[in-house]
Amino acid sequence: MPRHVVAPVADIPPGTRKIVTIRGREIGIFNLAGEFFALLNRCPHQGAELCRGTLVGLATSPEPGVFELSRRGEMLKCPWHGWEYDIRTGQSWCDPNDTKVRAYPVTVEPGETLAKGPFVAETFPVAVEQDYVVVDV
């Protein structure tokens, strides 16, 4: 799996995302409070551009009339029919065993390491003094 440098860390602040194209695939890179995750930009249900969806929390309820909202901003809701996916795993909320959006491993690497290679950074120069988001595709 070639490793692709997709952006300087500072380009994707916490709570934001960036959609990049790597070897013909559109992939959404999400920053969740400093942790990075990458998902394929296509919903397994009917093919919407999933990574343009809204970030929501998990709504749960121990009994009627009581509800809790947890994991704010960690679920990605499809722009079309609203299926929700766990950004950390790509697992679907409604069908966690069988429906999953493809997730890719992401790491943060210092520019110094990257300078040594072998990495692919197609669109911008890598500077040693910065950290970068790297995706295995």
Partner 1 sequence: MTPEDGRIIPAEAQANASRVKQKVIDCDVHHALRSGRDLLPYMATRWHAHLEEFGRRRPVPFIASSPYPKTAPALSRTDSWPPNGGPPGSDLAFLQEQLLDRYNIEYGMLHLLMSGMDERNQDFGNATCSAINDWQYENWTQKDQRLKAAIVVPGEDPPAAVREIARWAGNPDFAQVSMVTHAIEPLGRRRYWPIYEAAQAHNLPIGLHSSGNNGHAVTGTGWCGFYVEEQHNVALSQQQLAISLVCEGVFERFPKLKAVIIEAGYVWVPSVAWRLDQHYKRMHREMPHLTRKPSDYFRSHLWYSSQPADEPERPEDLRTVLDWIGWDRLLFSTDYPHWDMDNPEQAFKLRLSEAEQKMIYNENARAVYGLA
Residue 83: name its binding partner from partner 1, ligand FES, none (Cβ under 5 to 8 Å by kind): ligand FES
Q: CA neighbours within 13 Å on the CB side: how many for 99? A: 14
SS3 content of the chain, % helix, strand, coil (to 5): 10, 50, 40
Determine which helix (DSSP H) or strand (DSSP E) holds 75, and give its type and residue range. Answer: strand 66-77
Residue 95: name its binding partner from partner 1, ligand FES, none (Cβ under 5 to 8 Å by kind): partner 1
Residue 135 tokens read as: 């995706």
Residues from 31 through 90 that contact ligand FES (CB under 6 A): 43, 45-48, 78, 80-81, 83
- The footprint of partner 1 on this chain (CB under 8 A) covers a number of residues equal to 28
Q: With respect to partner 1, which residue has the nearer C-beta, 16 or 46?
A: 46
28 binds partner 1 (CB under 8 A): no
